[in-house]
Amino acid sequence: MNKINTTIIAIDGTAASGKGTLAKRIATHFNYAHLDTGKLYRGLAYLVMRTNTDNNDIDKIISLIPDLHNLDFNNPELISTSVSKTASIISALPPIRQQLLKYQKDFPVISLQKGFAGVVVDGRDIGSIIFPDADIKFFVDADVETRARRRYNELINKENNIDYKSVLSDITQRDYADKTRKVAPLIICDDAIVIDTTNTDIEAMVENAINNINKLL
């Protein structure tokens, strides 16, 4: 058990690996609160673009953070290719990560106050930086072509001029940026359970993860 006296499940992984689906399903199964931290970076990227803010204007980007409280995180724009690209750029900026740290770290405490016995938090640095003492850590991955195909299928009805090759190239570039950035790069923690979703169907993946959690808690 971590210091907050609640259960924390950390899920990290590559883009379109299925980590978000896994997080949602685990949260529903155990009635835990769920935080998709990618949505914080995507939400901020959306605000940056909507206000024509320069990707390097750190002070201006920080000034937009309070507006996240009024943002609709279900806005389909948040998964667009352009928002994904901007999110990848601004998430590599140390002051931006620092500013979003508190919100993420407070999430289990606030969720506990709301009556949730645990939380599921997914992202890139959850097990390594945000909750290094999480009760259970998962790392979700799949081969890049499988992930690109999934993202392409997600975007095909939403964006014009979308083609598989450019989605594959975007995901490859984002993997590289996420894994090589100086601050909070995507890594596999030593104590993480690795799940490869390349050939696994979603139900089997969820069942397997829930079995692991039941064994460990």
Where does this chain bind ligand DC (CB under 6 A)?
15, 37-38, 41-42, 87-88, 91, 123-125, 174, 178
**Closer residue to ligand DC (CB): 25 or 42:** 42
The three-class DSSP label of residue 180 is: helix
Give the integer Cα–Cα distance in Å for 105 and 78.
23
Give the integer Cα–Cα distance in Å for 151 and 162.
11
Q: How far is the CB of 215 from ligand DC (least distance, A)?
A: 26
Q: How far is the CB of 7 from ligand DC (least distance, A)?
A: 19
Find how far residue 16's CA is from the centre of its chain: 10
Amino acid letter at 146?
T
**Closer residue to ligand DC (CB): 2 or 214:** 2
**Closer residue to ligand DC (CB): 101 or 112:** 101
**Closer residue to ligand DC (CB): 115 or 144:** 144
**Closer residue to ligand DC (CB): 80 or 91:** 91
Q: How far is the CB of 141 from ligand DC (least distance, A)?
A: 13
Q: How far is the CB of 125 from ligand DC (least distance, A)?
A: 5
Give phi and psi for 216, each to the nearest 5.
Answer: -85, -25
Length of the chain: 217
Give the neighbor-by-neighbor strand order of the sheet with 7-13.
33-36, 118-123, 7-13, 136-141, 193-196
Q: How far is the CB of 126 from ligand DC (least distance, A)?
A: 6
Q: How far is the CB of 24 from ligand DC (least distance, A)?
A: 13
Using CB atoms within 10 Å of the CB of residue 162, give its burial: 0 to 12 exposed, 13 to 18 middle, 19+ buried.
middle
Amino acid letter at 199?
N
**Closer residue to ligand DC (CB): 89 or 112:** 89
The three-class DSSP label of residue 186 is: coil
Q: Which two tokens stand for residue 99?
A: 């500013």
